Amino acid sequence: MEDANTQPKWKGKECVELGGAKAEEVWPFLADFCNLNKWFPTLSTCIRVEGVEGQPGCVRYCAGFKTHIEHSDVNHVNWTKQKLLSIEPDNMALSYSIIDGNVGFNSYVSKVRVLPRVDGCAIEWEYEVEPVEGWKPETLQAFIGNGLNIMAKRMKEALELGVLN
């Protein structure tokens, strides 16, 4: 079996369309880096633990999300610390990396952007990570795709209800 360090990194991209939602309306939800728990499914906690909110170097602690891996310890909580690498309000894009955690993601870097469309917008989530023990590339792709679809649905509902961050 190949060592994870000698295998090529997994790369992927997911994109979801939000018909009727303007990119300028959706971007603030994503730019609010330390409130991902409002949008990402099963994420119960997202708090700033370092740096200035919305500025490169800001670190958020995310916990409570579920993955496909079962743990024998019923008190097990999945968690990661994620560092904001860049934020580009004019391009409606940000990038972050996972710098610590207990879910096996090493060298994970992601870029998330909101793209204007004629009839709304799209959210694109691009990522790169070293192979993750217990996962397959397609499992990770589905995890991110499902999460992004639920995020988009929740954001669209918030806009329809007039709820802003």
pLDDT confidence of 1, banded at 50, 70, 90?
very low
**pLDDT per position as a tens digit, 48-97:** 999 999 999 999 999 987 666 565 566 678 899 999 999 999 999 999 99
**What integer pLDDT is reported at residue 7 of this predicted model?**
80
pLDDT above 90 covers a percentage of the chain that reads 75
Q: Tell me what pLDDT residue 103 has.
A: 87
DSSP code per residue over 132-157: -TT--HHHHHHHHHHHHHHHHHHHHH
Domain positions in the chain: 11-160
Task: Enumerate residues 6+ apart whose C-beta is below 8 A from 37.
Answer: 43, 44, 45, 46, 62, 64
Token pair in block for residue 3? 């060592």
Written as one string, the DSSP assignment of 94-111 is EEEEEEEESS---S-EEE
pLDDT recorded at residue 32: 96
Give dist(CA 63, CA 123) in Å, integer. Answer: 23
Stated pTM of the model: 0.89
CA–CA distances in Å: residue 39 to residues 8, 33, 44, 59, 146: 31, 11, 10, 18, 12
Note the CATH architecture for domain 11-160.
2-Layer Sandwich (3.30)
Averaged pLDDT, 8-23:
95
